[in-house]
Amino acid sequence: MSTDAAAQQNPGQGGSYRLGVSARPAENREAITRVKEFVRTRFRLVEDDVVMVTELECGLPGCPPLETVIAFWCEDGERRHYKVFKPVAEVVEDDLPPWWMKNALIVPEGTGCDCC
Q: What is the pLDDT of residue 30?
A: 93
Q: What is the pLDDT of residue 72?
A: 96
Q: Around Cβ 28, how many Cβ atoms within 10 Å?
A: 18
- Residues 10, 54: Cα–Cα separation, whole Å: 24
Mean pLDDT per block of 10 residues along the chain (116 residues) reads 40 46 70 96 94 91 91 92 94 96 86 55
3-state SS assignment for residue 84: strand
- Residues 50, 30: Cα–Cα separation, whole Å: 18
Q: What is the pLDDT of residue 109?
A: 72
Q: What is the pLDDT of residue 62?
A: 86
User: How far from chain centre, in Å, is Cα 81?
Assistant: 7
